[in-house]
Structures are given as C-alpha cells and as structure tokens.
Structure 1
C-alpha cells in the first residue's frame, strides 16, 4: 500500500528533523532509538531481501538487495501539497521509496528518487545542487550492478546540530527513467555505519 506524505502539526524544526532522517515516508513522527555508546557496522550481506520488483514494498524501475531489518516503504508525493513537495521533491527528482534503518539500529534512510528520463549525471547534479548547505561535492563515474552510473559524495551543514555531515548518492538511467539512490543519516557517524547498506544497493542494483 502506498502511503501519501502528510503533515498534521508543522513545527519550525520539522524541516531539520526530516533532513536528519527522523521522519517516516508519510512524515509521521516516530521516537528515535537511543544511540549505543559503540556499535559495529553490519556485515555487507543480504538475507534474500530485495525491493523494487512488483510485489515488493516499492515498485521501482530498479531492484536492489537490502540488509537484514532494513524496512522499505513506498512514498507518494501528493500533487498540490506544498509541504509534501518540500520534503518529497529535490531538484529534478521526486521521492518514491524510503528504506528505514531504525529497525536495524541506525538513524537514517536509503531513499529512492525518480528523476524522469535523461542523463544520470545531469539529474544527480540537479539533485545535489538543490540540497541546501551542500559543499565539498565530487562526482565520479562508477559501475553500479554492472551498469554505468554516476556517484556524488558531499557534505551538508545542519544548522540545528551546528555541524556538517557526510551524504552520498548514485544515479543511473533505465528505460523507465533515471533513478537516484541516496544515503543520508542523522550525522556522519550514522552515515558511515549505514554505508554497508548503501554499498550493497549499489553493487546489487539492476534495471527492471
């Protein structure tokens, strides 16, 4: 079932919380799990769990493998909803799926964005350019699941937490349009701990 993005009580800090990955795909708030003093990154292996194909939580132009306990949920950005658009649209891309890391013990998401048909690099450049407070941006040509793709690594300054955090995304063109898969996180530590999930998505992605 696809869940539309909704906001009931908008507070000034909502935008910062959404950017930090503390809101779900329907923008309903959830309590964040307590952060252990030390935590090992999960092993980069799948448990036969994938997302993207028909019958999975998100029907996408691509499919990719997920680490255990990462929970995908389809996202629908309602037309005419300015608040939904503020969180569900970025540059040329619209969010269509998010995979929640909280059940696996991290605060953050793998988010999938659809950018329509066109060159993957141009879409990714537009996506990163639309990210407020982004800096130290680099783009590289990579292979993702054996396909040509473009990857961006960059930092985003979080005014609420008064620090910059690492983020990254890769984009690839498919017959059904360009797809961007993005990994953020509450902060750089969370981002780095979630990298195995991002790397697994990057290595296992395939066009449908």
Structure 2
C-alpha cells in the first residue's frame, strides 16, 4: 500500500533527507568490487579503499522493483535484496510536503525498508527531469544539509552508463558524521537516482551489498 514518507524521531529512524547522523570520525569508504568502475577524474581525491566483510559479500536476491505489478512504478527496474520491503511514497508532488519529498532537483518516489532484513536504513529511489545524470546527482548531493567530501565516478548500472557519488553528511546537533552513497542514470523518462543512507556508517556499510545488487541488476522499464 502507498504511504506518506516516514517521519520519525531522530533517535528512532532516518528522515527523508538522510539527516540523521552516525558514528563520529569517518573511515575511508570501502570500494565495492561488483560491476565495472572505470576511473573518472573527480574534483577531490577519492578516499582510500578499505575491504570490509559487508562490501565483499553479495546480497541474496529477492523481489523485483519498478516493473508492472511491483510496489513502485519507476522508469527503471532492479532486484531487491531478500527481505527488503518496498513501498511507494504517497502523493510525492504535494507542495505541502515539498521539503520532505524533494532533495534538490529530485523527488522521492519509493523507499525500500531494510528493517525486515535486520538493518536500520532505506534504499530510496528519486526521479528528476531529463538531462545529464551527473548534473542531477550533483544538485541532489548539494541539497543535503551537512553534505561534504563528495567524490563522483563513472560507473554502470546494469548495462546503462551511470554516475556514482560517495560522500559524508554531518549532523551539527548530534556532532556525528556518516557515509552515504548514490548513483544516477538518465532514462527517456528522466533521471533516476538510487540513494543508500543508513542510521550510521556501520549500518551503511553493512547494507552496501543490497545497494550493489540494485545497481548491477538495473534496467530500463
């Protein structure tokens, strides 16, 4: 069933913009080995890759998302990790909730809850207008309060060319910083951004296999 995007207390859950922060000092982002990652020329120096058990493992495939008859109607489809539960965001164009539904040029359409799989976080899917995927992704990251250290790279999402970003978000109130990651693809119906947050950096890294499963299985329609 469709539902309005969740709004919960900072100590209990994540907000749509991913403003809940996680563990203090940020360690370098792990490099995911699944899928091709040609080297781009980022404006900033990429963090040194570190291997973790979470990033090295693969997620067990579950249901498909985005196609006809699935929980969310999207310009793309991809495979979800087992036990991750998707729900469409109700009335995302409602101007009364624009601050929650929009991040920069993008509007949230679907959120996939990791809690049934034992994790605290969401994989969220946004759509933006037609144009370059990187341009939309840059606007998306800049619109997130406390975001910094963004590193962009050329990659692939399934067989589609994509741009991916890794960055950090700092919460001044909690004085904590956490890692986040997203990728964007251009489609005939506009740009699609798939974002992974998490309660903190540890949860984010533990959920990376689910994110990679979505990226590597993505296709149009």
Q: Same fold (TM over 0.5)?
A: yes
> Is 1:152 aligned with 2:165?
yes
Higher relative contact order (CA 8 A, sep 6+): 2
> Is 1:57 aligned with 2:79?
no
The residue aligned with 1:188 is: 201
Shift of 1:204: 0.4
Count of aligned residue pairs for this structure pair: 185
The residue aligned with 2:182 is: 169
1:206–1:6: structure 2 CA closer, same or farther, 3 Å change rule? closer
Matches within 5 A, 1:87-102: 87-102=100-115
- Cα root mean square deviation, aligned: 2.4
Distance, in Å, in 1 between the alignment partners of 2:179 and 2:14 is 16
* TM-score scaled by length of structure 1: 0.81
Distance, in Å, in 2 between the alignment partners of 1:60 and 1:185 is 22
> Is 1:103 aligned with 2:122?
no
Shift of 1:80: 2.4
Shift of 1:45: 3.7
The residue aligned with 2:95 is: 80
CA deviation map 1:150-179 (0-9, x unaligned)? 001000002343211000100001111110
> Is 1:128 aligned with 2:141?
yes
Shift of 1:2: 2.5
5+ unaligned residues in a row in structure 2: which ranges? 21-52
Aligned structure 1 segments of 4 or more residues deviating by more than 6 angstroms: none
| Cα pair 1:46 1:65 within 8 Å, conserved | no
* TM-score scaled by length of structure 2: 0.77
5+ unaligned residues in a row in structure 1: which ranges? 22-39
SS at match of 2:107: strand
SS at match of 1:86: helix
